[in-house]
Amino acid sequence: MRFSALGDVAMTVPVVWALAREYPDVRITMLSRPYARTFFEDLAPNVNFMAADVHQEYHGVRGLNALYRRLVAKQPTHIADLHSVLRSEYLRMRFNLGRFRVEHIEKHRQERRRLVSRTNKVLEQLTTPFESYADVFARLGFPIHRLDDFRSVFPPEGGNLNMLPRIIGPKRSWEQWIGIAPFAAHEGKVYPTKRMEQVIEGLIETYPKCRIFLFGRGRREDEVFPQWVKRWPTCVYCGWHLETMHQELILMSHLDVMLSMDSANMHMASLTGTPVVSVWGATHPLAGFMGFHQSTDNAIGLDLSCRPCSIYGQRPCKFGDYHCLADIQPQTVIDRIKHVIHEKAADD
């Protein structure tokens, strides 16, 4: 079970995929918030999905008790808590009282505190969530050995473009398809808008026949994306045309590259096997939150003594200007995207 934000749930997908394939006779039920159904419903024959809105339908102790009864009705033998927060801890307590086999994720909080400390910072690679999730299943008696085999939730040729509106496809051989997801939940993870506009201008100048797909749904996207679409006709605001997350994943699977912050879109693109150029400010890949199978060579960030100052990006900048992001030159981002596109073209 994992109830949290989109990116965290997306990171469970390769682990559940590997578990399902190594233990095909084990019936797996993934418990998460309703939006996550897209990730799991076609992942493997022995994987089922159970939606639970813990903020509405299963709110509070009474709601969690109802959820517990619903889970027990499925007659589980092992419980994996991949979240370890108050809600899941309460459910764990109920399952432990019922003498079920229960294990939970280790969050390595002490190591994280040392990584983001303002003094005596310890810059060491932390255990990734993928490794922590796999460790939970190992302690339950299901060690995973095939995690690295995961490549995409789609076949090698990508998702079916015919399932998308006609304005999206087909992809022509001379086009470069570039995805951009410029926003994130916290300011410490967002590349300045003016800088991003310079990146877009540089990409269009380099690839005049490219198509740029803008990903993300929210207030800031609704404010900025319509301006960009009007200014650059090569840009497409995906939120205007794609209705579901499954459609977004299909489109991502056909991109040459995705440009993203340390955000959910990085992890979604990773689930489709698409290379991601990621921009990091207050956070850092050392915390373990790189997209699955993504190269750290494509993670752009400045070598500053204050970085990282936050695991999730919510901590305010002590200087007040987030120069860890503002000082990243647009040409640096453009050059890395060019490199990825060139490499992908060579492989194809």
Domain ranges of the chain: 6-149, 162-347
Give per-residue pLDDT as tens, 213-272.
999 999 999 999 999 999 999 999 999 999 999 999 999 999 999 999 999 999 999 999
Residue 346 predicted with pLDDT over 90? no
Handedness of CA 81, 87, 91, 93 (dihedral sign): positive
Residue 191 predicted with pLDDT over 90? yes
Q: 36: which 2 tokens?
A: 């996550």
- pLDDT on residue 94: 96
- The DSSP secondary structure of 161-190, one letter per residue, reads GGGS-TTT-PPPTT--EEEEE---SSGGG-
**Nearest by Cα to 243 from 153, 163, 325:** 163
Query: What is the CATH topology of the domain spanning 162-347?
Result: Rossmann fold (3.40.50)
Residue 348 predicted with pLDDT over 90? no
- pLDDT on residue 274: 97
- Note whether 138 and 5 are within 8 A (CB): no
The reply to whether CATH 3.30.160 applies to domain 6-149 is no
Phi, psi of 3 (to 5 degrees): -105, 0
Tell me if the pTM is above 0.85.
yes
Q: 287: which 2 tokens?
A: 């915390």
Quickly tell me which residue has 């900025």 as its tokens: 224
Residue 337 predicted with pLDDT over 90? yes
